[in-house]
Structure 1
Amino acid sequence: MQDQGQNPYQPPSTNSINTESVQLGKKRTIEEAIANGYDFSISDVISKAWAQVNGVKLTFFLPLLAIGIISFIIGLILGFLPPKVIGPINFFVNIALNALAAGFIVLALKRLRGQQINLKEDFLSILPIFSVIILATLLTTLLTAVGMLLILIPGIYLAVAYCLTNWIIIDNPGISAWQAMEASRKIITQRWFSVFGLMIVLGIILMISAIPFGIGLIWTFPLFMLSIGTLYQIIFEV
């Protein structure tokens, strides 16, 4: 049970992801990040991320390929099931795979913080908090979908506003799904249009790179993750 007066966003004293290069006092708490504010240039974020792509392309591409193969196999299996159950099962499978993709966040944070990456150990290091990640993924997906169905604009707003939710969960073990969602929403809302612009640019880059049989994703998917990670650093690291 949480003590009265305790900061609801306060992370534990240890964090296996950021202890090596983010020194004590150099990383903002969530409350500090919300109060501090931030600004950034889309071109600067992408440029800094691109400088980190060389040397980790295969590190990002292998688990991406593995998730793609898993998704393909599950799709084949679902094809043998009755149509009535395909939809619900496919929905929860996608939630689980999207939650599993949070492993890329660990890879991006360690790369940006100058830490050595162990692909298998780091990608699967999210398993102890996977229940929180999958709950957050489910909630953000449902709330965004409801926003899209009712009025398009709220859905777009939430899709962007929740973009740092899993980053906050991974970098602050012990935080709840809802706390991370609210923290992401409050932080992103401060520069929502700039973050939206960043997402549009990165989305276009990903789409264009995927045209020639997805080969370009070897470069652009790491760029995408490292760009979001660079934004995260601007907000949370002094």
Structure 2
Amino acid sequence: MEQLGIIKSNAEIRESARKQLVGRWGPAILAYFIITIIVGLPGTIPDVGFIISLLIAGPFALGQTIYSIKFKRGEQVFIENIFDGFKRFSTAFVLQFLISLFVFLWSLLLIIPGVIAYLGYSQAFYILNDNPGLTATEALNRSKEMMKGYRGKFFMLQLSFLGWGILCILTLGIGFLWLVPYMNISFANFYDNLKNAHGSF
């Protein structure tokens, strides 16, 4: 666990993720690949695809969060953990719906307010995972509070993967099998570092 008050650089966060993935790439690649396939599949279904996507987006977002944070923390993790979000279906569904709605509404003003809103809500599923008794609104509010002063840092962390993303496209998408786990474990490290540094949330 990180020491209280110590905020890591984004380079250190990515390095931590790489170390955690050593010897464990296979399970991580499989887990995130399954999530990508299942979440993307409804888009190929005419008429009802959008409704299905709307229903499963939240639970899978929570399931992915659960898998990522357990993986990062060195806990025992299984492929089936990606489905754990369905155990809290209603809260996960409402949380994803509210995030999508608020980001959309802020984006109507301009793109930048939408991005700022997204960054503010970015830790909500992690917070919900650590505090299962929270409502979706409470998780959102805690995320906004947690991200005060750190939206830019998280944005730069995400942006740091852009070059890797371009390279993955050049590999006809095969490289994303490695990039997606790397990104998700890095984001889990960002959350845990911020949480432990503040000693709250």
Residue pair 2:128, 2:134 contacting (<8 A) in 1 also: yes
Q: d(CA) in 2 for partners of 1:98 and 1:208?
A: 29
Provide the alpha-carbon RMSD of the alignment.
Answer: 2.6
Deviation at 1:50, TM superposition (A): 1.2
Residue pair 2:42, 2:52 contacting (<8 A) in 1 also: no
**1:154 aligned to 2:113?**
yes
Structure with larger RCO (C-alpha < 8 A, sep 6+): 1
1:117-156 CA deviation, whole Å, 9 max, x = no partner? Answer: 1221x22222221211111111011110111112222111
1:70-107 CA deviation, whole Å, 9 max, x = no partner? Answer: 355433321xx4xxxx7xx5266156235413212222
Q: d(CA) in 2 for partners of 1:38 and 1:178?
A: 28
Paired positions, count: 197
Task: Give % identity.
Answer: 22
Aligned CA distance change for structure 1 residues 107 and 70 (closer, same or farther; 3 Å):
closer
Answer 1 or 2: which has greater helix percent: 2
Q: d(CA) in 2 for partners of 1:67 and 1:125?
A: 12
Residue pair 1:39, 1:191 contacting (<8 A) in 2 also: no
Gaps of 5+ in 1: 1-21, 28-35
Which residue of the partner structure matches residue 72 of structure 2?
A: 112
Q: d(CA) in 2 for partners of 1:180 and 1:72?
A: 26
Q: d(CA) in 1 for partners of 2:41 and 2:157?
A: 33
1:20-64 CA deviation, whole Å, 9 max, x = no partner? Answer: xx8xxx99xxxxxxxx87633111111111111223333233243
Query: When the two structures are superposed, what TM-score results if normalisation uses the length of structure 1?
Result: 0.72
The structure having more radius of gyration, on CA atoms, is: 1
Gaps of 5+ in 2: none
**1:166 aligned to 2:125?**
yes
**1:64 aligned to 2:32?**
yes
- Counterpart residue type for residue 70 of structure 1: I
